[in-house]
Amino acid sequence: MRVSLAAGLFAACIPILAQSAGDPPFLFDADWQPLLSGADLSGWHPQDAKPNEWLATRGVRWDQQATPVRLTPASRAGDRILNGRNGKTVNLVSDRAFGDVELYLEFLIPKGSNSGVYLQGLYEVQILDSYGVAKPGVHDCGAIYERWIDNKGVGGSPPSRNASRPAGEWQSFQIWFRAPRFDAGGKKVESAKFLRVVHNGVEVQRNVSVDGPTRAGMEIPEAPENPLMLQGDHGPVAFRNMYFRSLRH
């Protein structure tokens, strides 16, 4: 995949994270802004205004013995969100639109679950129970998901290594994303690009261009700005500590 000199220099300006555990980046820099505020879902709406079961909860429990494929919310509202008690509901979409952005979030899944984070509602970073997979592919956690063309999967970018933790443990993504570019007439002149994806402190993607929307993205056109989307219809998933800031040029 060809990378321009300008893009290479731009990516080189992105700081390299230490490959070790530590407190999340939004605790250290003042310019991070929360995507979840308070014990509710303000700032988000269900895709296509459909009925949904997303809820805010104080805590999330995974019971490996009793409910290995489910997540259980605490009875009180809080700053985590869960895609319902049954772990299957419509996708959740941000009210706010984003262009170039740096995103940090934490997620939790039970055994066998599947979700995804769609930058601009169109380009998916896969969430999957991939712990222990020896050679991860485009469907595994940390992958840039494949496109769907003529009823078959096309492209995608597998993670360069498997950084997945076991089911029931909180995990993190930090994503540096560059929106597609358009000329004055609205014609796309440069594809969207994942400059970096760091999974649990380990870089798994770098300079991956996405020629078009990946499978199951929103039915919206590519644009300089579009909302984020959290996939909620493929299995139980919880999110917390969701923050963003403008991409540093």
- The sheet with strand 92-98 has its strands ordered as 44-46, 92-98, 226-230, 114-119, 123-128
pLDDT value of position 22: 80
pLDDT value of position 38: 65
pLDDT in tens, the chain (249 residues): 444 444 444 444 444 443 455 899 999 998 999 998 766 798 999 999 999 999 999 999 999 999 999 999 999 999 999 999 999 999 999 999 999 999 999 999 999 999 999 999 999 999 999 999 999 999 999 999 999 999 999 999 999 999 999 999 999 999 999 999 999 999 999 999 999 999 999 999 999 999 999 999 999 999 999 999 999 999 999 999 999 999 986
Name the CATH code of domain 5-34+91-246 (choices 2.60.120.560, 3.30.200.20, 2.30.36.70, 2.30.30.90).
Answer: 2.60.120.560
pLDDT value of position 9: 43
pLDDT value of position 165: 98
pLDDT value of position 128: 98
pLDDT value of position 193: 98
Q: Are 155 and 123 in contact (CB under 8 A)?
A: no
Q: Are 176 and 183 in contact (CB under 8 A)?
A: no
Helix (H, G, I), strand (E, B) or coil at 23: coil
Model-level pTM?
0.90
pLDDT value of position 5: 42
Domain ranges of the chain: 5-34+91-246
Q: Residues 6 or more apart from 109 whose CB is under 8 A from it?
A: 71, 115, 127, 128, 129, 167, 235, 236, 237, 238
Q: How far is CA 26 from the centre of its chain?
A: 16
Assigned token pair, 104:
């940090």
